[in-house]
Structure 1
């Protein structure tokens, strides 16, 4: 398959800064998509051929576009800027939201198309998004230095030691997992309001002394850099196109909430139905989060397991299933406060509410363990090679785990935790309720309960 789509990274100076080879590719496209400011900067197409005759639009075909692409890659004959150019290009401005943008692209499939993208298309850009919809051979990426690279260069920050994320069209709460002492963050932004939301979040978390920098219009003739402490930052003159940089400096009272599992219990709003810190850390260790993996947290309570799963690995996803209305609200509050606002929360009675469209890489059950229909639904949905972890504190729950261990194998562990307390004037360790934990990896042949 030959590429019909070329995605060209463009800096803030616009398409006029592109090399001649990419400008030539632009002239052979039937359609050019991009932001309005890039489309307005496109150079007019030269409609005259070498003989001075007007170029026939009907001769613009996928074949001619492929010939240009091969020439650019060194696989075909040289095509100089003096060659005949295509006529009748269609310029299309991006339409928000993202789903509309994807629809715009897919309607053009197999026709010569160029997308003008800001910065590096593969770093939180349209190129990265389209990898989920197109075969690799359908499109070619022409990269450009990203806004992150330009910002790191201006700040003299080693980029390999910087957290990079996008707040463009995303909740600013995504900053939370990255707020640890001394961490450096570079974030793409939606508009001038992003910095205000970030400053408010920093103040609430006890990071008001952090150094905040806005780097506006990087790479353009009107580049502007503003730096101050978060508590003193004046955002009134910040415009829409900027990278947000944060160097994290905590107050003495700021809670330490790293992305490692085992956050303090008081970090979660809860009604007592909470997997306690030590047991939670042991549970996440058995669930083993990894980048992009999906967890089902069944009977999520306060959502602590699902939230810590998502914080522990890049792009990890989770679905929190809960039937109690007040707990659903607590899960949403906890997810936003701890930096995983994209946690999916599903209300309803299990197993009827369990989704089957995206099958999980791991499942956690913290209750209702004697419900055989619920267990079967979760186990059958789990991908081969996936991990299943269940915690029990009641005799009935333990009996269910013993039965399943006998059927399916895995590991059984008893977790006992004691915490410091007082009896009169003496200090003692007071035991918490013991937790029996069963963990098992589903066989690669996809063993099914009650087939």
Structure 2
């Protein structure tokens, strides 16, 4: 059995009796140097620091320890910060060994402590981890979140990103060493923090952020909310395209011929843990996709032209093709990379693209749809309808 014990910044003094008993009976305890340093003399077990990088060695390391150096079977103990199942190593160990082989004794999480300090209801608060994710994925257009920092530089980095994306009025509270004797709380607007970032932020910190102004939109952003040069899937078509792509939590999208990256951004906003890879051959447009991803906190990786850069991206759950359909071999390459059950959606506006798709449709089927929408515009003193270009959409699931 692997026993994972959560511990707070107050060390052994803050542990319940059950957690203290586990640590005092342990023969081997793994953890980071900071976590191991919180143990006192009542713990006689061998203390072993995690190797770096951790994941490649984790399975082998613990499998060897479970058998024991003396040939007997021993429980292996792990000490972790706060609640080990909240973006913690407890989840990793359960994935590796299964829930029956891992017992978790959680401590009060840093999220709960942070919400208690600022007076927020936990259920109304988003949890964002920057421990491994890019800093811009903590940018939001409203609401409130507890952000788990990677290190002492995370608050200044996030404050700068918020200021740069029009969220400088956001209220940023940095909470250091939560629950310990060295606990400290500092609050400022993101703009103030970015202009005068403190240099002494402890590496053990979380941020409570209220994002202002609050202009959240649940689905289909207005066109003018995204930076673009006209190469943009318009709002109404974007809505039906996301419906066809049917994103599910944690899935990866390839946005091929990304243009402004509007589909990739909307995909990432649609469900928890969704991410995207945007393929775009034009340098200026790639920079624009990156800017839109930062502005909306979207986990989008931007690569060069498709299909040349396909080998640089992990396998997708779905592919959207918004441009380049007439490029020789593009659709072949997309369908080759798509797993069985994966979805492909292609939007097209030219006769030449329709010719390519009609051949594929006749071979493997799917669904063909055409959308035509109109805008009301002034005609003298009256209002008339001006048509947008019709969009043909092909939707297919790989078998």
Residue 165 of structure 1 deviates from its aligned partner by 0.6
Could you tell me which runs of 5 or more consecutive residues in structure 2 were left unpaired when the two chains were aligned: 67-75
In structure 2, the residue matched to 1:414 is: 370
Spell out the pairing of 1:320-359 with structure 2 (5 A cutoff). Answer: 320-340=278-298, 342-350=299-307, 352-355=308-311, 358-359=314-315
In structure 2, the residue matched to 1:273 is: 231
Residue 423 of structure 1 deviates from its aligned partner by 5.9
In structure 2, the residue matched to 1:194 is: 154
Q: C-alpha separation between the residues in 1 aligned to 2:306 and 2:359? A: 24
For the pair 1:435 / 2:391, whether they are aligned, the reply is yes
Residues 184 and 247 of structure 1 are in contact (CA less than 8 Å); yes or no, is this contact kept in structure 2?
A: yes
Residues 261 and 280 of structure 1 are in contact (CA less than 8 Å); yes or no, is this contact kept in structure 2?
A: no
In structure 2, the residue matched to 1:185 is: 145
Match of 2:55 among 97, 102, 116: 102
For the pair 1:12 / 2:13, whether they are aligned, the reply is no
Aligned length: 386
Q: C-alpha separation between the residues in 2 aligned to 1:348 and 1:371? A: 11
Larger radius of gyration: 1
Residue 160 of structure 1 deviates from its aligned partner by 1.1
In structure 2, the residue matched to 1:402 is: 358
Residue 271 of structure 1 deviates from its aligned partner by 3.9
Match of 1:384 among 324, 335, 340: 340
Spell out the pairing of 1:1-150 with structure 2 (5 A cutoff). Answer: 3=1, 5-27=2-24, 29-44=26-41, 89-92=46-49, 94=50, 100-110=53-63, 111-112=65-66, 113-150=76-113
Change in Cα spacing, 1:297 to 1:189, as seen in structure 2 (3 Å) is: same
Q: C-alpha separation between the residues in 2 aligned to 1:356 and 1:384? A: 20
Residues 16 and 41 of structure 1 are in contact (CA less than 8 Å); yes or no, is this contact kept in structure 2?
A: no
Change in Cα spacing, 1:300 to 1:288, as seen in structure 2 (3 Å) is: same
Q: TM-score, normalised by structure 1?
A: 0.75
Residue 130 of structure 1 deviates from its aligned partner by 3.9
Change in Cα spacing, 1:330 to 1:133, as seen in structure 2 (3 Å) is: farther
Residues 94 and 101 of structure 2 are in contact (CA less than 8 Å); yes or no, is this contact kept in structure 1?
A: no
Residues 306 and 330 of structure 2 are in contact (CA less than 8 Å); yes or no, is this contact kept in structure 1?
A: no
Change in Cα spacing, 1:206 to 1:117, as seen in structure 2 (3 Å) is: same
Change in Cα spacing, 1:355 to 1:184, as seen in structure 2 (3 Å) is: same
Residues 186 and 246 of structure 1 are in contact (CA less than 8 Å); yes or no, is this contact kept in structure 2?
A: yes
Q: C-alpha separation between the residues in 1 aligned to 2:93 and 2:285? A: 36
Q: Which moved more, 1:147-156 or 1:216-225?
A: 216-225
In structure 2, the residue matched to 1:72 is: none
Change in Cα spacing, 1:210 to 1:323, as seen in structure 2 (3 Å) is: closer
Q: C-alpha separation between the residues in 2 aligned to 1:104 and 1:15? A: 28
Residue 354 of structure 1 deviates from its aligned partner by 2.6
Residues 144 and 209 of structure 2 are in contact (CA less than 8 Å); yes or no, is this contact kept in structure 1?
A: yes
Q: Secondary structure at the match of 1:109?
A: helix
Instruction: Encode CA deviations 1:405-439: one digit per residue, 9 max, x unaligned.
Output: 34433332221233354566765443221111122
Could you tell me which runs of 5 or more consecutive residues in structure 1 were left unpaired when the two chains were aligned: 47-84, 447-451
Residue 229 of structure 1 deviates from its aligned partner by 4.2
Q: Secondary structure at the match of 1:165?
A: strand
Q: Secondary structure at the match of 2:359?
A: helix
Q: TM-score, normalised by structure 2?
A: 0.84
Match of 1:221 among 169, 175, 181: 181
Q: C-alpha separation between the residues in 2 aligned to 1:249 and 1:392? A: 38
Residues 16 and 42 of structure 1 are in contact (CA less than 8 Å); yes or no, is this contact kept in structure 2?
A: no
CA RMSD of aligned residues (A): 3.0
In structure 2, the residue matched to 1:361 is: 317
Change in Cα spacing, 1:403 to 1:299, as seen in structure 2 (3 Å) is: same
Change in Cα spacing, 1:214 to 1:354, as seen in structure 2 (3 Å) is: closer
Residue 45 of structure 1 deviates from its aligned partner by 5.9
Q: C-alpha separation between the residues in 1 aligned to 2:191 and 2:310? A: 45
In structure 1, the residue matched to 2:250 is: 292
Q: Which moved more, 1:299-308 or 1:424-433?
A: 424-433
Residues 356 and 381 of structure 1 are in contact (CA less than 8 Å); yes or no, is this contact kept in structure 2?
A: no
